[in-house]
């Protein structure tokens, strides 16, 4: 009987030690998550404001689609930050926020498609936007780094919300690349239809992101 008690006592001590380690590690991870989300929020505010302003000045459907998606991603980043700030596990509120975000993405995709078609029909003439090109290059540089951080942290925490947010950051990089190609072609070779064509190329990606957000899943790019 004594021989049986010793392993149990040793196992209990080992378990207690593991519990103490697990209590320390999550706090560091959560602080890191909050830091990454705050950086994301600051950048998304800049990205959305500059993109939408440049879109208005240049009448660019591609920038409009990218800037609108940035504004919605800002909402997603705020939701995830709130999620890890409260730690209350309110899945119902998170699910509702995801459904609203997904619906907004569908509306954005439809709106951008309408603007792009109108532009292709000759009702508006998109101008080259060097400010738009600059913000798209910034997004193409920053968003993959943020996405990689979120993917690693979501794996460490098992958070579906953070995994979906990482997918949105990855998709933002793809969107910036597509929009950038359209703007560069227009700026370098004066091909006005490249901008609305790029915008039309964005709409399936935005719609896909919307469907995955509503279902609470990360998209395949993550």
d(CA 118, CA 60): 11
pLDDT confidence of residue 99: 78
3 or 195: which carries more pLDDT confidence?
Answer: 195
Residue 19 lies in a domain: no
Residue 114 lies in a domain: yes
d(CA 79, CA 159): 13
pLDDT at 151 over 60: yes
Q: Is 115 exposed, middle or buried (0-12, 13-18, 19+ CB in 10 A)?
A: buried
CA nearest to 142, candidates 55, 207, 50, 213: 50
d(CA 58, CA 64): 10
9 or 99: which carries more pLDDT confidence?
Answer: 99
pLDDT confidence of residue 75: 87
For the stretch 9-39, pLDDT in tens is 554 443 444 333 334 347 788 889 999 999 9
For the stretch 152-163, pLDDT in tens is 998 888 777 788
Residue 220 lies in a domain: no
Residue with tokens 């309110």, as numbered in its chain: 90
pLDDT confidence of residue 25: 44
Give residue 121's domain range: 29-214
pLDDT confidence of residue 88: 55
pLDDT confidence of residue 222: 47
Residue 128 lies in a domain: yes
Number of domains composing the chain: 1
Residue 2 lies in a domain: no
Joined together, the tokens standing for residue 49 give 């404001």
pLDDT confidence of residue 15: 45
pLDDT confidence of residue 137: 97
- Buried b / exposed e over 134-147, threshold 16 CB at 10 Å, is ebbeebbebbbebb
> In 59-129, which residue ranges form alpha helices assigned H by DSSP?
61-86, 91-120
CA nearest to 61, candidates 204, 211, 207, 194: 194
98 or 139: which carries more pLDDT confidence?
Answer: 139
DSSP state for residue 216 in the 8-state scheme: T
Residue 22 lies in a domain: no
Share of the chain above pLDDT 90, in %: 46
pLDDT confidence of residue 54: 96
pLDDT confidence of residue 42: 97
The band of 46, judged by pLDDT with boundaries at 50, 70 and 90, is: very high
The band of 90, judged by pLDDT with boundaries at 50, 70 and 90, is: low
d(CA 62, CA 113): 10
């Amino acid at each position: 009987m004594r021989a049986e008690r010793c392993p149990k006592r040793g196992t209990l001590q080992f378990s207690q030690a593991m519990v103490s380690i697990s209590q320390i590690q999550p706090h560091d991870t959560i602080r890191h998550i909050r830091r990454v989300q705050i950086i994301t929020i600051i950048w998304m505010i800049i990205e959305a404001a500059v993109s939408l302003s440049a879109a208005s000045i240049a009448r660019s459907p591609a920038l409009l689609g990218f800037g609108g998606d940035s504004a919605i991603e800002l909402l997603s980043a705020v939701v995830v930050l709130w999620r890890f700030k409260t730690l209350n596990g309110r899945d119902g509120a998170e699910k509702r926020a995801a459904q609203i975000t997904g619906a907004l993405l569908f509306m954005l995709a439809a709106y951008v498609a309408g603007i792009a078609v109108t532009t292709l029909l000759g009702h508006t003439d998109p101008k080259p936007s060097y400010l738009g090109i600059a913000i798209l290059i910034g997004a193409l540089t920053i968003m993959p780094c943020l996405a990689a951080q979120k993917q690693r942290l979501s794996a460490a925490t098992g958070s579906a919300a953070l995994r979906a947010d990482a997918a949105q950051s990855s998709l933002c990089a793809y969107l910036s690349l597509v929009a950038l190609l359209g703007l560069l072609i227009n700026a370098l070779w004066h091909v006005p239809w490249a901008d609305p064509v790029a915008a039309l190329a964005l709409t399936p990606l935005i719609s896909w992101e919307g469907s995955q957000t509503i279902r609470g899943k990360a998209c395949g790019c993550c």
